[in-house]
Amino acid sequence: MAVSRRSRPVLLLVAILALVAGLLAASPAEAATGSITGRVLAKPTGGTATVFGSNGASVSLYRATEPGSFVGDYVGNYRTGSTGRFTASSLADGYYTLRATDDRQVADTTRLTSEYYDNGWSPYGTTQVRILNGNAVTVRDIVLERAGRFAGTVRNAAGQPIPNASVTVSPSDGAGGYGFQADAQGRYDSSQHDLTDDLFPKTYSVSISADSGIGQPVYEGKTVPVTIAADQTTALDVVLTRRSTRTFAVKNANGTAAANAAVGLWIRRDGVWGPAQYGPICTDAQGRFRLTQSGDTAYKAFFNPATATACGQGTSQTPSPAGTVGEYWKDAYALEDAAVIDFAGAQSDLTYPVTLGSQPTITKGAVTVTGTPEVGRTLTANPGTWGPSGVTLSYQWSAGGTAIAGATGSTLALTSELVGKSVSVRVTGRLTGSPSVDQEAYAGQPVAPRITAVKPTVSGTTTAGSTLTAKSGVWGPSGVTLAYRWLANGVAISGATAKTFVLTNAQAGKTISFKVTGSRSGSTSVSSTSLSTAAVRGVLTARKPTITGTAQRGKVLTANVLTWTPSPVTLRYQWLRDGVAITGATGRTHTLTSGSVGKRITVRVTGSKTSYITRSSTSGATAVVKS
């Protein structure tokens, strides 16, 4: 925020305390090696810019971690040297706002006004200096000048002063700024107010408006550019045009005010009525509600009874009497019958009385909307019980407050055009000889898009120890979160929630599939499962057999085998002579014959199990068989 000369000592003390606290809390791991240097020059009225003497000016630094942040944390104050130069060193990376100040011990009549870097009057939208990777930055000269001011009178079209008009000064149109009020005679002077007494030479945006509350005139605001010159007063006399108003004085049937009661407001846009996009909208403590002309905008209004809780305030109050019901202006209970509030013709301020009464002839039901608000689904209006007998009901669906053309049935099929919009239905009851009554209900949340699923695919070898990889495909719309699950024979595998899966013997004999579930806020979750793989083949853990016995004709050799896993595993034996199968030698033992003399004997054990890959293991060879 801009700071007046009178406020600077307090700010300086706060800034020093903040700096000390920041230094104490800083982590040693944070490198602060950047620097900012530049010059502050003095430009007296009618003169040229020259350097300040030693300690003639200073620059305050504020650091933010994000660009555009409002000022930021105070870093320090750096005084100029004899050449007008200042240097701020040991700066951490960040975005810095610079504010230069004339520190000379001189009279206010010669003191120069403060300025933010790059000709900035306020921190709103001022140019920041970035320190990145501890770099050194040299900034352009900051030239301080004498302040100027603007002054004038705010009047209406009849030339009468407008008391207490609001005046706001901004560095540019649309930027943030500071304001003050004109006096009771409509007069003002920017130099007489704390935050606008330091306007250095440049063009500013000045906005002037007047709105003194219900019962007082309202004027169209005006924004104009004002150019300030050093040590001069720019005259700015402004004439504001009066705006028309429509005030409603809302009372209960017993004559008491319907104070702090909610007001429903509809605006006609392109010929269609829709709710006003702001709130809360309430009567005041006297039960009054005012509309002010805004171009050719037309309105319809619904006035609710006062409740025990004040509208927009949350404080307790006296409610309207029991049995009091709300009504549309004028004396209507359905939007279609409500009178249009407009501002046609010459400027005028009109006040209308509104008296809330008891329930009309038609009693409305508790209207609800059921169904999921999602594209492709259907919402249903449930009207509840209306009375008396003979009441006919009609429906009108709306999206985002705008009536949907042709949507006049008790159901509504949701299409993609409605995504992101809140859907409501207005049920209107009609009975010959009685005023119509309506009731509106909402679907609960905006219409969500329907998730479009893609069938995933799985690749890889279906053998224990191998890795399967899944591809989920591209799902829609944006914002969909995908969750994964591997299945064995259709049953979820515990912990298998990644896009890859390493098969184990636990899946032997089972087919594998991959399930993707898409979820999105407001949308119904959708799942899609891949085609199943071939059955997984398990892998046996084989054990190398050994042979015991004497390698001599007539002796018996025995194959010794440790347990194969996973058990049970069926084992078959085949004895070999110099690597050639011996016919009929398929038992666990083998008696050596003369045909084996001079040769070496081995045994091959083959394990098999359903859904597993058959494996074989061969022993080491015996010594040469002797005769």
Q: Are 125 and 175 in contact (CB under 8 A)?
A: yes
- The residue length of the chain stands at 627
Chain-centroid distance of CA 225 in Å reads: 36
Quick one: pLDDT at residue 2? Answer: 37
Quick one: pLDDT at residue 31? Answer: 63
Number of DSSP helices (H) and strands (E) in the chain, helices first: 1, 49
Quick one: pLDDT at residue 366? Answer: 96
Q: Which two tokens stand for residue 52?
A: 């300040």
d(CA 439, CA 456): 47
CB atoms within 10 A of CB 586: 12
Point out the residues of the chain with pLDDT beneath 50: 1-30
**Cα separations (Å) of 564 from 213, 367, 606?**
93, 72, 10
Kindly report, residue by residue over 520-536, the tens digit of the pLDDT.
Answer: 998 999 999 999 999 99
Quick one: pLDDT at residue 11? Answer: 36
**Cα separations (Å) of 429 from 129, 335, 409, 503?**
65, 11, 14, 66
Kindly report, residue by residue over 281-327, the tens digit of the pLDDT.
Answer: 999 999 999 999 988 889 999 999 999 999 988 899 999 999 999 99
27-30 — which CB contacts under 8 Å span 24+ positions? 30/92
Kindly report, residue by residue over 361-382, the tens digit of the pLDDT.
Answer: 999 999 999 999 999 999 999 9
Kindly list the structural domains of the chain, giving each domain's residue range(s) and its CATH number in brackets, ordered by start: 5-145 (2.60.40.10), 149-243 (2.60.40.1120), 245-356 (2.60.40.1120), 368-442 (2.60.40.2700), 457-538 (2.60.40.2700), 540-618 (2.60.40.2700)
d(CA 537, CA 540): 10
Pairing of strands 149-156, 238-240: parallel
Indicate the pTM of the whole model.
Answer: 0.65
d(CA 97, CA 68): 10
d(CA 251, CA 259): 8
d(CA 86, CA 80): 5
Give every strand in the sheet of 457-459, ordered side by side.
457-459, 467-471, 500-502
d(CA 554, CA 322): 116
517-521 — which CB contacts under 8 Å span 24+ positions? 517/482, 517/483, 517/484, 517/485, 518/451, 518/453, 518/475, 518/480, 518/481, 518/482, 518/483, 519/451, 519/480, 519/481, 519/483, 520/448, 520/449, 520/451, 520/477, 520/479, 520/480, 520/481, 521/448, 521/479
- Beta strands (DSSP E) in 339-466 are 349-356, 368-370, 378-382, 392-399, 402-403, 411-413, 423-431, 434-442, 457-459
Three-state SS at 417: helix
List all residues 6 or more positions away from 294 whose beta carbon is below 8 Å from its beta carbon: none
Quick one: pLDDT at residue 30? Answer: 47
Quick one: pLDDT at residue 516? Answer: 98
Kindly report, residue by residue over 378-408, the tens digit of the pLDDT.
Answer: 999 999 999 999 999 999 999 988 899 999 9
